[in-house]
Amino acid sequence: MNEFVYKYRVAWVDTDALGVMHFSNYFRICERTEEEFMRAIGLSFDPSHKVSLPRVKAECTFKYPLRYNDEAIITMKLKEIGRKHMKYSFEIKNASNDIISASCEIVVVAINDQFKSIELPNELIYKIKSFFNEN
């Protein structure tokens, strides 16, 4: 199974007074990784598409802190894809010592501009399954 890898340098704005990345920013990094993944496979979600992918579940297990200026390596995998939802896993490692900083999972669903659940677009399902070698 393929995985998507993204690198992110921890910015000052990501950290607390001790220079440690605030826990909420791990979710932001996961979302940025997902955005870069979509861009890499030729998809983008702007308001004109009439499809949104809000998060309905997000969880992280924190294992080792990232600090200001650390380079994080984020590995994204597809855990599950249905007609209306997708579940991704993310492993966030500190590049300088190869220690896992956090393991996260995010579930997204497809909705329209009236916030009603809809099926994922076929093009999206095809491109994601093709990248991750899912059949």
User: What string of DSSP letters covers 47-103?
Assistant: GGG--B--EEEEEEEE-S--BTTPEEEEEEEEEEE-SSEEEEEEEEEETTTTEEEEE
Quick one: pLDDT at residue 133? 85
- Please work out, in degrees rounded to the nearest 5, the angle formed at the alpha carbon of residue 114 by the alpha carbons of 120 and 109: 30
pLDDT tens sequence across 56-102: 999 999 999 999 999 999 999 999 999 999 999 999 999 999 999 99
Query: What domains can you pick out in the chain, each with its CATH number?
Result: 4-131 (3.10.129.10)
pLDDT confidence bin for 117, thresholds 50/70/90: very high
pLDDT tens sequence across 43-55: 876 666 678 999 9
pTM of the model: 0.91
Q: CB atoms < 10 A from the CB of 27, how many?
A: 17
Of all residues in the chain, what percent carry a pLDDT higher than 70? Answer: 94
